[in-house]
């Protein structure tokens, strides 16, 4: 089974190269602002000033990132600033609240140091909403403005990697079955997504979990018993994913203006042919799965999917970005991809 759920090297590289050449830079943003909630997969600086091991503000991270453009598919030409440094001028077009090691549960990631859990990220967003309202001097206008924005939420990986799968550090892995833990996460996530709605968000893209059992760090830590990936980790996280789509459906049914959509990361990263990708990191790893500071990474990063023990290279991220924006399969996004989400009216 595991061989059917591993990212496949040749297919991904070919698609990524094709996608690189077909990305269209749009002159005007399709939405007025873009708000990002999540963990290290999308943290762009919020952890830099925190006392934590979960940060990537050192070499060899950023080796291929000479102040290039992000948010191209939605038409943004400037970076979405991290909450930690966002100015009043910048927050009008969005804020990134993401924090490495953060999770749905507040205790998640504590062994690495400080982090900004999803609950705290939502509190930070509430302060930004207040700041925007003061700047615009019209609460009615601000409410209508925020309804048009895109909100990305990418959470849950650390609740497994840096919580449930570490029973020596956290009680959850000792007292809950995988099914019970997935249910607990979904219940809390539901409350958090409803809170985001109550803060004015309407068009919300919620990303599912990827194949955490196929990450180089988890493979090195747990072994695979002859399989390509750690199957019991993928089976555990799938229990979360299969609950997430019905949660999105419930939110859309319960909240009158809700335009939630589920981005199926496992669908996007499921193989399309029979070539298994070696789960090899591009950089030399520390014990926590991050790159050794100032180490020399692999010379041809276009031929690797994993940059360190947990995080994909630009190739992997590009495939995910393109297929979440424009779904290639009905299972990639439900009920709509992000390009369609951006067009919806509330």
Q: Is 311 a catalytic residue?
A: yes
Per-residue HEC secondary structure of the chain comes to CHHHCCCCHHHHHHHHHHHHHHCCCCCCCCCCCEEEEECCCCCCCCCCCCCECCCCCCCCCCCCCCCCCCCHHHCCCCCCCECCCCCHHHHCCCCECCCCCCCCCCCCCHHHECCCCHHHHHHHHHHHHHHHHHHHCCHHHHHHHHHCCEEEEECCHHHHHHHHCCCCCCCHHHHCCHHHHHHHHHHHHHHHHHHHHHCCCCEEEEECCCCHHHCHHHHHHHCCCCCCCCHHHHHHHHHHHHHHHHHHHHHHHHCCCCEEEEECHHHHCCCCCCCCCCCCECCCECCCCCECCCCCCCCCHHHCCECCCCCECHHHHHHHHHHHHCCCCCCCEECCCHHHHHHCCC
Q: Is 78 a catalytic residue?
A: no
> Environment class of residue 210 by beta-carbon count within 10 Å: exposed (0-12), middle (13-18) or buried (19+)?
buried
Residue of 39, 43, 159, 308 with catalytic role: 308
Residue of 39, 40, 117, 332 with catalytic role: 40
Q: Is 308 a catalytic residue?
A: yes
Residue of 39, 125, 159, 311 with catalytic role: 311
Q: Which residues are catalytic?
A: 40, 308, 311
């Amino acid at each position: 089974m595991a061989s059917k759920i591993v990212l496949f090297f040749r297919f991904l590289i070919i698609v990524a190269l094709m996608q690189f050449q077909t990305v269209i830079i749009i002159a005007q943003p399709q939405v007025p602002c873009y708000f990002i909630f999540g963990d290290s997969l999308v943290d762009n600086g919020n952890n830099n000033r925190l006392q934590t091991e979960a940060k990537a503000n050192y070499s060899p991270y950023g080796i291929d990132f000479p102040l290039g453009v992000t948010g191209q598919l939605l038409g943004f030409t400037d970076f979405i600033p991290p909450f930690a440094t966002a100015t009043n001028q910048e927050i009008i077009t969005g804020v990134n609240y993401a924090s490495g090691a953060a999770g749905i549960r507040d205790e998640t990631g504590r062994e690495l140091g400080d982090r900004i859990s999803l609950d705290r990220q939502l509190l930070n967003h509430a302060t930004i909403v207040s700041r925007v309202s003061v700047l615009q001097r019209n609460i009615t206008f601000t409410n209508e403005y925020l309804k048009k924005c895109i909100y990305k939420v990418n959470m849950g990986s650390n609740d497994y990697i840096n919580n449930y799968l570490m029973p020596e550090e956290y009680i959850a892995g000792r007292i809950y079955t995988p099914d019970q833990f997935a249910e607990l996460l979904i219940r809390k996530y539901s409350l958090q997504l409803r809170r985001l709605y109550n803060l004015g968000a309407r068009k919300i893209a919620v990303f599912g979990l990827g194949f955490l059992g196929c990450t180089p760090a988890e493979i090195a830590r747990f072994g695979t018993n002859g399989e390509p990936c750690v199957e019991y980790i993928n089976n555990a996280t799938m229990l979360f994913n299969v609950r997430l789509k019905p949660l999105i459906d419930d939110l859309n049914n319960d909240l009158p203006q809700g335009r939630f959509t589920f981005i199926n990361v496992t669908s996007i990263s499921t193989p399309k042919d029979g070539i298994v990708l070696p789960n090899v990191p591009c950089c030399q790893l520390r014990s926590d799965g991050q790159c050794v500071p100032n180490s020399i990474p692999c010379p041809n990063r276009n031929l690797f999917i994993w940059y360190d023990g947990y995080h994909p290279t630009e190739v992997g991220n590009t495939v995910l970005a393109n297929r979440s924006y424009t779904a290639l399969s009905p299972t990639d996004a439900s009920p709509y991809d992000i390009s369609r989400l951006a067009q919806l009216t509330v």
